[in-house]
A and B are shown apart, each in its own frame.
Chain A
Amino acid sequence: MSRFAYFLAEAWRSLWHHRALTLTAIAGLAGALLTVGVFLLFTANAQLALTSLGDRREVVVYLRDSAPEGQVDSLRARMDTLYGTSSYVSKQEAWDEFARELGGDELLKAVGENPLPASIRLRLRPEYLHFAAMERIADALAGESIVEEVRFGGEWVRRLDLFTKGLGRANLWVAIAVALGVMLVVANMIRLTVLARRDLIRILALVGAGPGFLRAPLVIEGVLVAGLAALVALGLLAIVWAGLDGRPFALVFLPWRWCLAFVGVATALGFAGSLLALVTVSRRH
């Protein structure tokens, strides 16, 4: 048996031996981690929705009727270079589109001459998909002589940005609170384990076990408990997701990379919690 396999077996033996304590710790941690999981689920779905909405975040540059074709092409070339991808919508195309949206051109016939201006629609690069950048770009384009007006739905974009930032902040605070909670639960569990196994630890120390030999199984215990709790929390989250999906709208589950990161971070917190507990333990031996 290799050294790691031995320590793993020792950790498992201890977890099994103190299974009531182990189950209590896993249940507590899973509950806390589920809270983070629910927030992550909403974040993942909000991000998906925002990406889809973000695709529609564009700047529309309305052109003067007198704008020479050469200057329009020049402006588009600059917009493509600086901000993203532009597409030209002629007066006729705008008219046709408007007619389609109204469901026919009967009403428009009454207007007579096409009053709609030609425009350039600019799909921005991802780094410009926020209110400040869009406002700056709109101001810059509005200064062009061939431009009549620039629109980008400023208030809507600003609210979208605020929502995204608010969600990110909430996630951060919940994650910090739960991370501290996980570390403290693991640290207390390891302290209780050490208390319960103090005779064993004393025997090991008297037979010559160094700090590493004493600590390794306990650290692995903390990692295992946190990892198992994360898996339980993911299982519970899947149940929550299945219950919410389609009510009132469809939800996607966490991407697999997020699931891996979720378990990875939880085990890392278990590791940190174990070390926190062992700082005091190893001083006694």
Chain B
Amino acid sequence: MIRLTHVSQRYGAQVALEDVNFEVAPGDFCVVLGPSGAGKTSLLRLLTMEADPTGGQVQVGSFVSGRLGRNQRAALRRTLGVVFEDFKLLEDRNLFENVALALRIHGVWDKATLERRVDEALVQVGLPGRAHAFPRELSGGQKQRAGVARAIVNRPHLVLADEPTGNLDPAAGEEILDLLFQVHRDGTTILLATNNQELAAKLAARGARLVEIKDGTLVEGVRP
């Protein structure tokens, strides 16, 4: 699913990742724990191929970093679901439009199909009947649920979650984690990045694989 081979990422003299070798198998729930600035964002940017590694090779599914064109990078991202810390919902559109956006990008234009798939996704994340609500009308937890709905509406094999509970209160954070475990149980591989040790411990306790990112390197199985 994901394979990093001797991957390095440098920004001038600053080293974000150094000779990282890392694999995530299909069906994993992998938590990448590390403090701010440890390289989590760099890792996720490499996985979405927003950036190319300065050394080594990144493979996500059948996509290999290197000489991917814009269309191929877009095609890779269409195979992923991405959940953001700040939700990244379009504030001037309702939930239907926000979630349908991912389907349209996937080439789904039929109105009936769009409505059915969006409704299914909103039901799955616990927001039934809220298709016409705008993000400003929702709580943080509900916004993140909508973000998860957008990430999973295309039924991706892999979901990348970047600090998905970072902007939420503990109760709402728990709900989002439950939701991600539910998505995982349905067969989706999850890679979650967080700087919250307590959260990482909870996830590890529920069976997630824990990897710590420290000084640009990844260390497997560290207990927080």
Interface residues of A (CB under 8 A from B): 1-3, 6, 13, 17, 199-200, 203-211, 213, 282, 285
Q: Which residue of A lies closest to B101 (CB)?
A: A207
B92 touching A17, Cβ below 8 Å: yes
Report the Cα distance A6→B84, complex, angstroms: 25
Interchain CB contact under 8 A, B90 and A1 = no
Q: Is the CB of B88 within 8 A of A210?
A: no
Q: Find residues 28-84 in chain B having any chain A CB closer than 8 Å to their own CB.
A: 48, 50, 70-71, 74-80, 82, 84
Interface centre among B77, B90, B102, B106 (most CB of A within 10 A): B77
The yes or no answer to B105 lying at the interface (CB within 8 A) is: yes
27 of the cross-chain contacts (CB-CB < 8 Å) are A3-B104, A6-B104, A17-B92, A199-B88, A200-B90, A203-B88, A203-B90, A204-B101, A204-B105, A205-B74, A205-B77, A206-B48, A206-B50, A207-B78, A207-B82, A207-B101, A207-B105, A207-B150, A208-B74, A208-B78, A208-B79, A208-B80, A208-B102, A210-B71, A210-B105, A213-B105, A282-B70
Kindly provide the distance from the CB of A182 to the nearest chain B CB, expressed in whole angstroms. Answer: 28
Further pairs besides A207-B105, A210-B74, A211-B70: 20, Cβ < 8 Å: A2-B109, A6-B109, A13-B92, A199-B88, A203-B88, A203-B90, A204-B101, A205-B77, A206-B77, A206-B84, A207-B77, A207-B101, A207-B102, A208-B74, A208-B77, A208-B78, A208-B106, A209-B74, A209-B105, A210-B75
Q: How far is the CB of A105 from chain B (nearest CB, A)?
A: 86
- A-B pair count, CB < 8 Å, reads 55
Tell me, yes or no, whether B111 is within 8 Å of chain A by CB.
Answer: yes
Which residues of A sit under 8 angstroms from B82, Cβ to Cβ? 206-207
A3's nearest neighbour on chain B, judged by CB, is B109
Interfacial residues, chain B to chain A (CB-CB below 8 A)? 48, 50, 70-71, 74-80, 82, 84, 88, 90, 92, 101-102, 104-106, 109, 111, 150
Closest approach, in angstroms, between the C-beta of A283 and any C-beta of chain B? Answer: 8
How near does chain B come to A172, taking the closest CB pair, in angstroms? 38
B92 — which chain A residues lie within 8 A by C-beta? 13, 17
CA distance A3 to B76 in the complex (A): 21
The 5 closest A-B CB pairs, nearest first, are A208-B78, A210-B74, A208-B77, A209-B105, A203-B88
**Which single residue of chain A is at the shortest CB-CB distance from B89?**
A203
Secondary structure of the A contact surface, majority rule = helix
Q: Which residues of A contact B78 (CB under 8 A)?
A: 207-208
Interface of chain B: mostly helix, strand, loop or mixed: helix
Nearest residue in A to B81 (C-beta to C-beta)? A207
- B9 CB to nearest chain A CB (Å): 18
A131 to B80, CA, bound (A): 73
Q: How far is the CA of A206 from the CA of B78 in the complex (A)?
A: 9
Nearest-neighbour CB distance to chain B for A69, whole angstroms, equals 81
Complex Cα–Cα for A6 and B90 (A): 16
Determine the distance from Cα of A285 to Cα of B102 in the docked complex, in whole angstroms.
17
Please measure, in the bound complex, the distance between the C-alpha atom of A213 and the C-alpha atom of B106, giving whole angstroms: 10
Chain A residues near B50: list those with CB within 8 A.
206
Which residues on the B side are within 8 Å of A210 (C-beta)? 70-71, 74-75, 105
Q: List, in ascending order, chain B residues with CB within 8 A of A213's CB.
A: 74, 104-105
Q: How far is the CA of A251 from the CA of B223 in the complex (A)?
A: 88
Chain A hits for B76, CB < 8 A: 208
Nearest CB in chain A: distance from B164 CB, A: 14
Distance of A13 Cα from B101 Cα, bound (Å): 15
Complex Cα gap A1–B115 (Å): 12
Q: Which residue of B lies closest to A285 (CB)?
A: B70
Q: How far is the CA of A200 from the CA of B48 in the complex (A)?
A: 17
Instruction: Report the bound CA distance from A6 to B106 in whole Å.
Output: 14
- A1 lies within 8 A of B71 (CB): no
Closest chain A CB from B213 CB (angstroms): 21
Chain B residue, CB-CB nearest to A211: B70
